[in-house]
A = this chain, B = another copy of it.
Amino acid sequence: MREPESRKTAKAVQEPNKRRKAASQEHVTRRKILDAASDLFRDKGYASTTLRQIADAAGMQAGSVYYHFESKDAIVSEILDLGITYVFDEVKRRVEKLGPGAEPKARLEVAIDGHLSGLLSHESFLSANIRNYGQLPEDLRKKNVPLRRAYVGYWDALLLEAQKAGAIRADLDLKILRLFTIGSLNWTVEWHKPDKGSIEELSMQIKSILFDGISPVG
């Protein structure tokens, strides 16, 4: 997502065709590195993953990675931001698709669908994010904070309007509810197996537990 400005502007005017092809190729290689790295960060953790392993999985030598990223930190930082963006975009897309007059409960339902879908469709990015975020050095975490804050702010607004509209019990603490909800959704990356059922089915079960509880009658 972030492009290396210096290189991008270097030969911007001349040879538009060649440049476009090169930029596209660059994008492909960057993507290969990010995909390889997110798999490794998820499976072995950030610190245990070596640049040689990332390079190997991306089909190149360790030194070559530094043409595309200035450091190992820069790779994980981009993965953190991309992960939140995937989920946030999918949630917003589905909520906005409902239109401005939609019921708050319906908006909440599609937000859950969107979160789960974004999460599990880009599982390695989100799993890498969820598993590593809390253990990264503070300066790396800080760069991801604005996006995270914006995302939880969006949820807080959804939950508040739902409670005001009577779709959520008035006695529930919305902060706890948000943490509980997003947390339980995030945890699905640890156990959801795509072959054991679709994301849609999983989302239905979870919404059913969340809205109506596990007790009968309800």
A residues lining the B interface (CB < 8 Å): 42-48, 105, 131-132, 134-135, 166-173, 176-177, 179-180, 183-184, 186-188, 190-191, 202, 205-206, 208-216, 218
Contact = CB atoms under 8 A, between A and B. Distances in A.
A129 B14 CA distance: 56
Contacts of A166: 216
Given A131-B134, A186-B187, A169 B215 contact: yes
A202 B175 CA distance: 12
Contacts of A218: 169, 212-213, 218
Oligomeric state, in copies: 2
A158 to B, nearest CB: 12
Main secondary structure of the interface of A (DSSP, over half): helix
A117 B180 CA distance: 16
A180 B214 CA distance: 11
Contacts of A105: 215
B210 A209 contact: yes
A76 B203 CA distance: 35
A191 B179 contact: yes
Given A131-B131, A134-B131, A168-B214, A206 B191 contact: no
B216 A213 contact: no
A39 to B, nearest CB: 12
A71 B20 CA distance: 53
Contact of A135 (B44, B169, B188): B44
Give the one of A46, A179, A214 with max B CB within 10 A.
A214
A211 B217 CA distance: 11
A167 B217 CA distance: 10
A188 B179 CA distance: 8
